Structure 1
Amino acid sequence: MKRSTKVSPEVKAVGDRLRGAIDNHSLSVEQVGQKIGLSSSQLYDRMKYGNLKLQEAVVLSQLLDIDLAWLAMGYEEIPNLEGIVTKFIELYQTKPETVESLLTTIDWLWFEERYRGNK
């Protein structure tokens, strides 16, 4: 019986992020597979299809020092993030309550968009 190779873009993206994390790490695919108990072909399969088991994802995130949420969902790049962070740090020196209020608002907006906006 031939396995279906149809993979949703979201699931394939998990495999792509895994491939990138391994490529950016000092361990080879073979070494990573060995450390988490998968053969090289099994790990290549995970990278190709994004079909990670939760326990594998947890161990991989610890081994590769990557965020589990990033592996699962990814993050969008934020343009000019470094400049924004610098401005927040400068503002925090004189008005910490303003920065805390802004960060709370950003957290709330992110939550609304992520969890309530997708219903």
Structure 2
Amino acid sequence: MNEKKVTNEDLAKLISNLSVTTDGNTKAIDLISKTTLKILETMATKEELNIVKKDVSGIKTELVGVKKDVSVLKTDVSDLKTDQKSFRTETRESFNRLEKNLKENEESVGAVVADYHPHIIALEEKVFGSSTLE
């Protein structure tokens, strides 16, 4: 049997090689973990971005509905303004007609009273003994 004797020098080389290998592995592991962390952060950021995109899409959809509602409200307000103007005009016309009718009726009543004035005086004198209209 050929057995080779391991010397201290051989052991020192093995330990040195092992140390270099371990340092290399440590550096590689550090690099892998840093890269993995960056990948995970990027994935999380992309996932968050997708969530934000969905939220923005939902907001856009709601905004379209709000715009439609506002458009309907604008139309309703415009219609109300038109109705209000029409109401004002119709009311003014109605008051003018009423005022005209009242003047005509007042003149008519005045004429009736003037026609019946002598009769009213005579009636008051018969009932009360004197007239308040003289």
Q: TM-score, normalised by structure 2?
A: 0.18
- Of Structure 1 and Structure 2, the greater helix share is in 2
Q: TM-score, normalised by structure 1?
A: 0.20
Rg bigger for which structure? 2
